[in-house]
Structure 1
């Protein structure tokens, strides 16, 4: 997911059965479609390989977005996103049993739109 630090709203997200690059690229493309890019915008993430991939960083750079990553082994650098993911997990995911991936996506979409 891509969380707008100013509004604290999710502006891009994707859900699938794996964590391949295309998943994060889908979330980033959604975020880019929802926001106009202003000079000085910084995209901050943890050090996951999907965020450090060439495809992901090239997409950020092609939109003039600066890249910032958490320090190694320091989850506090990404605390806002980690906190939101915990809320999503406890208030949505663990309270439901989804029949399939499509139902999970629909339910999580509804949760994110309310948040």
Structure 2
């Protein structure tokens, strides 16, 4: 589930720190939660690592070039083109800024079925996890 995001013209530590802070503000994870990312320089940046540490989060990085998030992002873009022409509607940063929050919250998180989640949406998967364990997601 996407719980924090930021929109900008370049992927750098400022953008990823803004997304991380949005996720922290939304979920308020307890100390010790593991945050996994790829080995992109924006995640390895001191500013990003300091933000993780200041919030008691543990950074974890995958192998180079093997980011699930990158593959899902490409898949999201490819699938979006086939689902109502989203890419046609999002031609510039202003339009992306206007439309992306709705897409993330209402389509991707609530209705997008993922084979890795047993063909549940991220929200359905999280709800199932909470019912089964009695623990809410951080």
Q: TM-score range by the shorter chain?
A: 0.7 to 0.9
Deviations 1:43-100 (A, max 9, x none): 1100000000010000000011011001234x1xx42x23431332123368323343
Give the count of matched residue pairs.
103
Distance across 2 between alignment mates of 1:93 and 1:61: 38
Structure 2 equivalent of residue 87 of structure 1: 75
TM-score computed with the length of structure 1 as normaliser: 0.77
Q: Which moved more, 1:87-96 or 1:58-67?
A: 87-96
Q: Name whichever structure is richer in strand by fraction.
A: 1
Which structure has the greater CA radius of gyration? Answer: 2
Question: What residue ranges of structure 2 are gaps of 5+ in the alignment?
Answer: 109-138
Change (3 A) 1:100 1:82: closer
Mapped pair 1:30 → 2:22: yes
The CA RMSD over aligned residues, in Å, is 1.9
| Equivalence for 1:112 | 104
Give the ranges of 4+ consecutive aligned residues of structure 1 lying more than 4 Å apart after TM superposition: none
